Amino acid sequence: MLFDTPIYLLFLALIVAVYWRLNLRRQNILLLLASYFFYGWWDWRFLLLMIGSTIVDFLIAREIEGASDQGKRKILLITSLVLNFAILGFFKYFNFFLDSTVTALDALGIHGVPRNLLAVILPPGISFYTFQEVAYIVDVSAGRIRASRDFVEYGLFISLFPHLIAGPIQRPSHLLPQVQTRRVFNPSTFRDGCMLILMGFVRKAVIADNCAHLANAAFSGALGNDGWATCIGIYAFAWQIYGDFSGYSDIARGSAQLLGFHFMVNFRQPYLACSLQEFWRRWHISLSTWLRDYLYIPLGGSRGGPVKTYRNLLITMLLGGLWHGANWTFVVWGAVHGCVLSIERWISGSRLHVAQSTAVRRFAGRILTFHIVCFSWIFFRAENVSSAFNMLKTLGHFQWSPDYAAAWLFVITLSGLAMMMDLEMEWSGGEYVFQNRMPVLRYSAALIAIALVTLFSASGNHAFIYFRF
């Protein structure tokens, strides 16, 4: 059930209509059943897997909290982590190792291995709900939160349908208390939820899906094989993935607000960042803060000197890259970000660092950071490392074609729309366009958004990119 389809909007409307007529306990039961229906819509077998892992972690967390012996608590924690990451690793990386094995066997002269029969299907959202389960177990073990005594509450925390498939990744200390506390209908919050959904549709259906046509043509070679085609593909994909994922997050957050929940902001105008470090404070915030708190800091963070700091940054970004998928392209993408973050950290601690910030330096920093991010997207989008490097090689050869003029106009128009939305939000501090402006501007923005989605939604089926992760 995709967010940008009529069936989801009908599903959401029916749930909201019934939901606010119930008491807290019945609200939670309704949402848990609705969330399981939403997930089972994809494949009921994956639903059984998610329910099974939810039950296991629910029981282990209660055992951890009730255990007085630290050794037993540690064994229970390790058991949960091993089970969670083993399940995630099997479904996410089995095909990667299968492909590598088939390739090795081919090289040895052993052919005909039935790869298609052995391959496994990746359950939707498994990375996201696994990370939530891990965060919950770790926080209970550390004493930061109490273990839930009610399976309906814990199950809803894991499976609440707006965040279930592609986040934002919810922290136990943020979402679980909301599940356990009575929600009160607030017209202002409900209005903001509707506006977030509308703006999410603009980013996804208008900006991302239209950019997808150009990005697909460029990365497949259909657009051309020179530097112009590569640049068009790079910029088109940069705005596609941003519009796609930020649009999904807006729809998820808006859907949650219609039900009285508040999800953390997942994007804060990342392409306005002046450094890669700032970019990661603005991009996929729920993942970057999870990696910081549950991986980078436990590794030692910035303690232990510069060399260990660089090591921890590189490990964190490499594993962050692998989280996105079992492909060497994601490893390279994570390595690029890890290396640049380390270089930035080295510069900030050296004599090369200039403390005074000016408008010119910030503008230059934004341009440089944007292009580092854009060119690293090549590895994120390419089918394999070889294809990525072949695209980079084309940047040494530019041959203009009249077809490129229309493509550039397309990219500039769509990216310009996205940038105008971001600049307004950056200046006003709103979570959507004109949130903190006069009502007439806010409602005008709603009407414009409806018109844009109605008139300029891209044709074709473009599933949300992060459904693959």
> Tens digits of per-residue pLDDT, 292-308?
999 999 999 888 888 99
CA distance 40 to 44: 4
Q: Please check whether residue 36 is in contact with residue 51, taking contact to mean a CB–CB distance below 8 angstroms.
A: yes
Q: Please check whether residue 280 is in contact with residue 317, taking contact to mean a CB–CB distance below 8 angstroms.
A: no
State CA 215 to chain mean position distance: 19
Can you list the alpha helix ranges (DSSP code H) found in 325-456? 328-348, 359-381, 385-393, 402-428, 439-456
HSE-CB of 300 using CA atoms within 13 angstroms? 13
Q: pLDDT tens digits, residue range 334-355?
A: 999 999 999 999 888 665 555 5
> Residue 375's pLDDT is what?
94
Other CB atoms within 10 Å distance of the CB of residue 225: 16
State CA 161 to chain mean position distance: 15
Q: Please check whether residue 267 is in contact with residue 246, taking contact to mean a CB–CB distance below 8 angstroms.
A: yes
Q: pLDDT tens digits, residue range 193-225?
A: 999 999 999 999 999 999 999 999 999 989 988
Q: Please check whether residue 291 is in contact with residue 340, taking contact to mean a CB–CB distance below 8 angstroms.
A: no
Q: Using 50, 70 and 90 to split pLDDT, how confident is the model at 291? A: very high
Instruction: Decide if pLDDT at 118 tops 50.
Output: no
Q: Kindly compute the dihedral angle of the four CA atoms of residues 154, 158, 163, 166, in this order, to the nearest 10 degrees.
A: 170
| Least-confidence region, from 258-272, 293-307, 366-380, 449-463 | 449-463
Residue 147 vs residues 138, 368, 430: alpha-carbon distances, Å: 11, 45, 35
Cα of first residue to Cα of last residue in the chain, in angstroms, is 16
213 annotated active-site = no
When comparing pLDDT for 68 and 110, which is higher?
Answer: 68
Residue 7 vs residues 11, 36, 62, 203, 422: alpha-carbon distances, Å: 6, 16, 38, 20, 29
Q: Please check whether residue 266 is in contact with residue 167, taking contact to mean a CB–CB distance below 8 angstroms.
A: yes
Instruction: Decide if pLDDT at 36 tops 70.
Output: yes
Please choose, from the candidates 387, 418, 451, the residue with its C-alpha nearest in 3D space to the C-alpha of residue 209. Answer: 418
CA distance 327 to 353: 36
- The residue type found at 116 is N
Average pLDDT of the residues of the chain: 89
Q: Using 50, 70 and 90 to split pLDDT, how confident is the model at 469? A: low
Can you list the alpha helix ranges (DSSP code H) found in 262-305? 276-282, 285-291, 297-299
> Residue 348's pLDDT is what?
80
> Residue 466's pLDDT is what?
64
- For the residues 252-269, what does the mean pLDDT come to? 96
* Percentage above 70 pLDDT, the chain: 90
Active-site residue, from 163, 213, 284, 324: 324
| Residue 24 φ then ψ, to 5° | -60, -50
> Residue 129's pLDDT is what?
92
- For the residues 222-236, what does the mean pLDDT come to? 93
Instruction: Decide if pLDDT at 255 tops 60.
Output: yes
Give the distance between the most distant pair of CA atoms in the chain.
Answer: 73
Can you list the alpha helix ranges (DSSP code H) found in 168-295? 172-180, 187-201, 209-220, 227-258, 276-282, 285-291
Instruction: Decide if pLDDT at 459 tops 80.
Output: no
Reported pTM: 0.91
When comparing pLDDT for 92 and 377, which is higher?
Answer: 377
When comparing pLDDT for 208 and 457, which is higher?
Answer: 208
CA distance 33 to 25: 12
CA distance 333 to 378: 8
**Residue 106 in tokens:** 């081919």
Q: pLDDT tens digits, residue range 359-397?
A: 888 899 999 999 999 999 999 999 999 999 999 999 989
Residue 334, SS3? helix
In sequence order, which residues have a C-beta less than 8 Å from that of residue 260 and are 6 or more positions away? Answer: 178, 183, 184, 185, 186, 189
Q: Please check whether residue 167 is in contact with residue 265, taking contact to mean a CB–CB distance below 8 angstroms.
A: no
CA distance 420 to 426: 10
